[in-house]
């Protein structure tokens, strides 16, 4: 996640990651930032877990809304299938990571995880950029409710910026396959 904002208007970046159903540990942290000053007030930045989805005892999926709190840095989530992180920045530049670690099942088989597809979205209101949202879905068998996630995130942005929901516009920016990126590092699950 990356963002920059100058003046009094904040900027946000969301990252949603779909994972194969299972137990996970999630964490969010800054990788770098620099803050400026606006009218004798310092800039701010925060990164945190915003929401996640898990299956309940009956097997039904439910979304858990996590309060926006920078102290929400590490969570263990049972029977998880997606997480959404948020980074906000005002009067500064910031870079952050949202990571998901799968907890080994103990079965002793380390099967390969399916690839992922990545789609970036721009969030604007009044014609001005106000945020971004990156969604990483499983390439095969995805059950991620992308439209519902984007709708919730856009509603949050409208409430935060004090505008009507219909004034927030979300447009797809680009799509790519994670397997086509040629990364030799660890894959996000």
**DSSP assignment string, 50-112:** EEEEEE-TTS-EEEEEPP--TT--EEEEEEEEEEEEEEEEESEEEEEEEEEEEPP-SSS--PP
- Confidence class for position 68, pLDDT limits 50, 70, 90: confident
* Mean pLDDT over each residue of the chain, to the nearest integer: 82
pLDDT of residue 70: 66
- Confidence class for position 106, pLDDT limits 50, 70, 90: low
pLDDT of residue 51: 92
Please check the confidence at residue 80 and state whether its pLDDT lies above 70.
yes
At residue 11, what are phi and psi to the nearest 5 degrees? Answer: -130, 145
Please check the confidence at residue 90 and state whether its pLDDT lies above 80.
yes
Mean pLDDT of 46-74: 84
- Confidence class for position 185, pLDDT limits 50, 70, 90: very low
pLDDT digits (tens, 9 = 90+) for 108-138: 445 555 678 899 999 998 888 889 999 999 8
**DSSP assignment string, 8-21:** T--EEEEEEEEEEE
Sign of CA dihedral 18, 24, 29, 31: negative
Contact between 28 and 100 under an 8 Å Cβ cutoff? The reply is no
Report the C-alpha dihedral over residues 18, 21, 23, 24, rounded to 10 degrees: -10
Q: Which pTM does this prediction carry?
A: 0.80
Mean pLDDT of 140-161: 88
pLDDT digits (tens, 9 = 90+) for 158-182: 888 888 888 899 999 865 555 444 4
pLDDT digits (tens, 9 = 90+) for 23-57: 999 998 888 888 888 788 888 888 889 999 998 88
- Confidence class for position 107, pLDDT limits 50, 70, 90: low
């Amino acid at each position: 996640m990356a963002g920059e904002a100058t003046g009094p208007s904040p900027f946000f970046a969301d990252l949603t990651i779909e994972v194969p159903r299972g137990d996970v540990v999630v964490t969010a942290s800054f990788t770098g930032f620099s803050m400026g000053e606006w009218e004798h007030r310092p800039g701010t930045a925060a990164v945190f877990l915003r929401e996640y989805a898990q299956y309940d005892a009956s097997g039904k999926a439910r979304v858990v809304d996590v309060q926006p709190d920078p102290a929400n840095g590490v969570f263990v989530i049972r029977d998880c299938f997606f997480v959404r992180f948020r980074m906000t920045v005002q009067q500064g530049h910031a870079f952050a990571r949202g990571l998901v670690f799968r907890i080994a099942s103990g079965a002793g088989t380390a099967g390969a995880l399916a690839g992922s597809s990545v789609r970036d979205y721009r969030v604007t209101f009044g014609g001005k950029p106000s945020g971004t949202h990156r969604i990483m879905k499983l390439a095969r068998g995805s059950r991620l409710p992308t439209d519902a996630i984007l709708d919730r995130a856009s509603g949050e942005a409208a409430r935060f910026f004090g505008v009507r929901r219909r004034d927030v516009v979300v447009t797809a920016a680009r799509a790519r396959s994670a397997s086509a990126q040629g990364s030799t590092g660890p894959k996000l699950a």
